[in-house]
Structure 1
Amino acid sequence: MKRVFSGVVASMLAIVASAAMAQDKPPLKLGGILDMSGLYADITGPGSETAAKMAAEDFGGEVLGRKIEIIAADHLNKADLAANIARDMFDNQGVEMIYDVAASATALAAAEIAKARNKIIMFSGPGSIRLSNEACGPYTVHYVFDTFAQANVTGLAAVKSGLDTWFFLTADYAFGQDLEKDTSNVVLKSGGKVLGSVRHPLNTSDFSSYLLQAQASKAKVIGLANAGGDTINAIKQASEFGIMKGGQKLSPLLAFVTDIDGVGLETAQGLLLAEAFYWDLNDDTRAFSKRFMERMKRPPTSAQAGVYSSVLHYLQAVKAAGTTDPAAVMKIMKDTPINDMFAKNGRIREDGRMVHDMYLFEVKKPSESKGRWDDYKLLATVPGNEAFQSLELSRCPLVKK
């Protein structure tokens, strides 16, 4: 009996010691660098932080005996601030992985810090193709969309339908410039013509002079190489100027369901746009979006859905690797296909590009919509290997040729 009692006590002590050790382990911190208050706040912002927390909760709340902690900071759309936040997260706050980093200039700045620290950074909100080309890194993942895919899916479809002359309204920073360049290349290769372009500052309130130049060009398509509040303002003001009624087509080269809701179907109807995710696409997207809407009172954007998927993929890789070591975790993330509500058979390539299907949508007429957020009808599904830049064209130094 004494031996039995001693064994039970030893077992209990071992359990208590194990629990104490688990409590002594620091939390696994994942940090979001987001636009929480500016023109991209609806696209990423609090919704991205919520999506990351949902992924952590769905995973079980802990991994390798460590509680998962999701934190976030506002970069105010300033690249130097994004770099400082990334540096502080890695050096002082114990963050193991940074997620989202909305906007391209801020993402490029944060990427350099992550590379210098040999830490994993996973981008959902930014679009610049430089992130998986010149600015690629061994622990960098570009998850949701990029300027090449947006241009390829939207521009190609437009030119094929006869919309073959273009003029660009371009946000004057890395993302806008890349989007104009990539779309121009698609238009020209498809036999179309680019009649000109004009650059505007980020967060522009008055587009009148830019729209007048676009109108005067007589281009069949005015390509909006911007995003968020800039896209919404440009579409609204173009409608006020009667540009669409005059026969010119507006093509937002990056638009989200929140943008269309902000514009309204009466103005946005008929717009062609490329997206990586839509809440009403299938049963899986609807199930996730229902849970997200209970918290945020609006459906997720593709960037926010991508945050959920990327954080979950990272946590699964940490568990499989048995460590948070970036090299071990990245190997598993690249070796493991991604199958969830965001992507089917998605994969992370050697350049860090996560390849998955993209979708071409047309914005519904008000008469076709069943209610708020019922904004898109699917025109085409474009396989990932056709939508994204091929490895043969990659400018990433990590790609072996």
Structure 2
Amino acid sequence: MTKSITKSGSISRRRLLTTVSAGAALAASPFRINLLQAQEANIKIGFPVPLTGPYGAEAQDQVRAAQLAIAEFNDAGALNGRKAELVVRDDKLNPGEAATRTLELVEKEKVNFVVGSLSAAVQLAINNVTKERGVIFNSISQSDAINEAADFSKYTFHEALNPHMTAGAVGRYAFSKFGKKVAFLTADYAYGHEMVRGFLEVGKTFGIENLGDIRHPLGTTDFSTLLPRIQALKPDILCISNFGRDQQIALKQATDFGVKKTTQIIAPLLSHASRVAAGPQAFEGVIGGCSFYWGLEEKFASTKAFNEAFRKMYDGKLPTDYGALGYGGVRTVLAAVKNAGSVDTDKVIAALEALKYDFYKGPQYYRKCDHQSVQSVLVIQSKSKDLRNESDVFQIISTDEPNEANLRSCEELGHKA
């Protein structure tokens, strides 16, 4: 029997047919179809925020502005035609719920990135899920802990201010002008605790006297037993470190109790949504901080462009402080995707670390050791007269320009040099 000999470099008819058949089977297989679908799928950004609860108004602002960032990215051609979409979930201002919803976004919705949160504790729960699964998370809520080595990972970015920056800016302004005797009314969770720590830290420079820290649970509706205790301390300054509905109620009742007659009230953060909801009387004369105010359009072309785009999309309304964070958090991730030319996680991380940007409030960049956005902090005062429009509720009275000296050092946060 004669053997069939195949020359080196050639292929037998049987092998050719086998290879062709296998290739045809692969082309028609569900795996191949799923691969093609994955390549063509939208770029998904998961967006967990507390749509229900005391911070609901601010969360709605975050969603609206985030949708603008998505629309601008898509209108500019997206990533070679591959569009982005926002997948919103309600975390109900609850760490357990946030972890569940984030897990759903990552494992069920297959999001490429996560942006969101509006609570110091909630964002840590989100961060725990995303870092374990190797998904980039850009937080848009204040926290000191998220930048610390114990919670940080290479996937963690922080577009928002942190309490050390915010309380530092407000404290430097207030403690130099209104006196040294300081009392605190504090929401009894991470946000409040970190803000007080920031005030006390900057207060060392000015020699302030801490008269006491009176704490209240999240969701308090009656401060009538706490305010007389504060008045009895006779402070020059009262730091009210709470947020959202708690802040509205506390300031209304402080006004009714006549606290402002003898004491300057400051807050680390003044929310546009809270000021509008509570009205001018409750916030009259109160000084606080924020990361964004639409009036920056007089200083920055980027703010003017952001305001105009938001007005166009939302029937003439202007963006708020937390709305701007929703915009910035999403836009920076999409800018990095564009710069990287990919949604590959490591490539996008490198692009975010290299990003020098001015998208809505002046220059910013992410510090490499902890991925904190280095940016300006605005010190603002509530106003009630000579309003240019319905959103003209604050006056910028001071600005801390972007400066790493106003952040805790990388070494303080536990990061190795």
Same fold (TM over 0.5): yes
How far 1:74 moved relative to its partner? 0.7
What pairs up with 1:269-280 in 2 under 5 angstroms? 269-280=284-295
Q: Does residue 303 of structure 1 match 2:322?
A: yes
Match of 2:110 in 1: 94
Aligned length: 376
Letter matched to residue 164 of structure 2:
F
Match of 1:52 in 2: 66
Match of 2:10 in 1: none
Give SS of 1:42's match: helix
Distance 1:224 1:387 in 2: 25
1:14-62 deviation per Cα after TM superposition (whole angstroms, max 9, x unaligned): xxxxxx968962221101111112211222x222222122111111253
How far 1:390 moved relative to its partner? 3.6
**Structure 2 spans left out of the alignment, 5+ residues:** 1-34
Query: Which stretch shifts more, 317-326 or 353-362?
Result: 317-326
How far 1:146 moved relative to its partner? 1.1
| 8 Å Cα contact 2:157/2:372 also seen in 1 | yes
Change (3 A) 1:37 1:290: farther
Distance 2:100 2:266 in 1: 35
What pairs up with 1:70-219 in 2 under 5 angstroms? 70-124=86-140, 126-133=141-148, 134-219=150-235
Q: Does residue 385 of structure 1 match 2:399?
A: no
Give SS of 1:212's match: helix
Give SS of 1:395's match: coil
Larger Rg: 2
Change (3 A) 1:81 1:192: same
| 8 Å Cα contact 1:202/1:230 also seen in 2 | yes
Change (3 A) 1:378 1:64: same
| 8 Å Cα contact 2:61/2:322 also seen in 1 | no
Distance 2:197 2:285 in 1: 24
| 8 Å Cα contact 1:167/1:195 also seen in 2 | yes
Q: How does the TM-score come out when normalised to structure 2?
A: 0.85
Query: Which stretch shifts more, 128-137 or 193-202?
Result: 128-137
Q: 2:352 aligns with which of 333, 342, 367?
A: 333
Change (3 A) 1:307 1:230: same
Distance 2:203 2:294 in 1: 29
Letter matched to residue 354 of structure 1:
S
Change (3 A) 1:114 1:218: same
Q: How does the TM-score come out when normalised to structure 1?
A: 0.88
Distance 1:300 1:42 in 2: 13
Distance 1:213 1:80 in 2: 35
Distance 1:59 1:337 in 2: 18
Change (3 A) 1:400 1:102: same
How far 1:292 moved relative to its partner? 2.4
Match of 1:10 in 2: none
Distance 2:364 2:407 in 1: 17
C-alpha RMSD of matched pairs (Å): 2.1
How far 1:261 moved relative to its partner? 1.7
Give SS of 1:281's match: helix
Q: Does residue 359 of structure 1 match 2:378?
A: yes
| 8 Å Cα contact 2:302/2:362 also seen in 1 | no
Distance 1:184 1:70 in 2: 39
Change (3 A) 1:139 1:155: same
Match of 2:391 in 1: 373
Give SS of 1:73's match: strand
How far 1:168 moved relative to its partner? 1.0
Distance 2:163 2:255 in 1: 25
Give SS of 1:324's match: coil
How far 1:297 moved relative to its partner? 6.5
How far 1:393 moved relative to its partner? 5.0
Change (3 A) 1:371 1:301: closer
| 8 Å Cα contact 1:257/1:301 also seen in 2 | yes
Letter matched to residue 332 of structure 2:
H
Give SS of 2:391's match: coil
Distance 2:285 2:321 in 1: 20
| 8 Å Cα contact 1:158/1:164 also seen in 2 | no
1:114-146 deviation per Cα after TM superposition (whole angstroms, max 9, x unaligned): 11011100111x212111113221111111211
Distance 2:228 2:218 in 1: 19
Give SS of 2:294's match: coil
Give SS of 1:274's match: strand
**Structure 1 spans left out of the alignment, 5+ residues:** 1-19
Distance 1:392 1:139 in 2: 17
Letter matched to residue 55 of structure 1:
A
Letter matched to residue 216 of structure 2:
H
Give SS of 2:251's match: helix
Give SS of 2:219's match: coil
| 8 Å Cα contact 2:113/2:135 also seen in 1 | yes
Change (3 A) 1:210 1:354: same
